Amino acid sequence: MDIKEKGTLPIGVEFGGRLCTEFEIRPGKMKDSIEARASEDLARLMENEEHMGAFLIGKRLTIHGVPPEAMTLDFMLDMFEDDINEVMRTDKRLVNTTRRFRETHLAKTQSDSGLDEDGVQGGKGLDDVGGGSRSLSGQLSGDQEPAAGGEEVQGQTEEEKEEVGSGRESP
């Protein structure tokens, strides 16, 4: 799964004699936090949460023309504020993209498996089994009367229910 958002830095960064402005940002991954703790900048990252945030953004950020190993804490701290603001706006779009992906993926998974939005097979929850509303213990609720054998029979008319309850049989 390759979720990312693309953007353009309004000012850009110079690397290798070239001005680089096109970028992509991806969602955070566990490896980003692990790399932060293994970083030579760990002391700086731990003393200042803004440094940690800049480092983690740098791990998620790809600026076309800048190799990943160059995206250090110092590199991130030297970026122009306007560029960082654009990265953060793009990151907000990424959050929405990720949410839509999850919702679409969840809906597809549920429709493929026959589950409803609550993860119940075929839309039959406790309230739908046996035609009456039931508690978790299986007790009928409301004004429903169980038929002979203790269960309400779906599709019976009131007259048929009375006949079954009185022991009479219908023709």
Instruction: State the Cα–Cα distance between residues 60 and 103, nearest whole angstrom.
Output: 23
pLDDT value, residue 106: 72
Has this prediction a pTM greater than 0.85?
A: no
Neighbouring-strand partners of residue 19: 14
pLDDT value, residue 103: 84
**Which two structure tokens, joined as six digits, stand for 117?**
């939005």
Instruction: Return the percentage of the chain with pLDDT > 70, whole number.
Output: 61
Instruction: State the Cα–Cα distance between residues 5 and 61, nearest whole angstrom.
Output: 10
Task: Assess contact for 56 and 32: CB atoms under 8 A.
Answer: yes
Q: What is the pLDDT of residues 130-149, one digit of tens each?
A: 444 433 444 444 444 444 44
pLDDT value, residue 160: 52
| Run of H or E including 25 | strand 18-25
**Which two structure tokens, joined as six digits, stand for 15?**
């690397």
Residue 135, C-beta contacts closer than 8 angstroms, at least 6 positions apart: 126, 141
In the three-class reduction of DSSP (H, G, I as helix; E, B as strand; rest coil), residue 33 is classed as helix
Low-confidence ranges of the chain (pLDDT < 50): 123-154, 170-171
pLDDT value, residue 113: 61
